[in-house]
Amino acid sequence: MGERVAGARVCEGGMREGGISIWFFIGISLLVNGVLITGTGVWEIFHPPANPVVLFHLHASVWWGALLLAGGIAYCAQFAPWRRP
């Protein structure tokens, strides 16, 4: 098991039993940012700016947002509090 620290047992990795992993919150942050950036990129496709940047045709915000969204989903799935080992 683990040792007791201030009334709570400490598991492997220094996390208290019943705690939520910081990686789950990082996953939520990636997920939210991915949704916002992808949404902005899709908006820019349908409403292009008056003065687009040189590589606008590559739609970097859509790709970057999708990458963050996929990473956020992966982290949230891997470190979800209800998915205990």
- pLDDT on residue 16: 58
25-64 pLDDT, tens digit per residue, is 999 999 999 999 999 999 999 999 999 999 999 999 999 9
Counting Cβ atoms within 10 Å, is residue 30 exposed (0-12), middle (13-18) or buried (19+)?
Answer: buried
Which is more confidently placed, 77 or 19? 77
- pLDDT on residue 61: 96
Q: pTM of the full predicted structure?
A: 0.75
- pLDDT on residue 79: 92
Q: What b/e readout covers 9-20, taking b as 16+ CB neighbours within 10 angstroms? A: ebeeeeeeeeee
- Percent of the chain whose pLDDT exceeds 70: 76
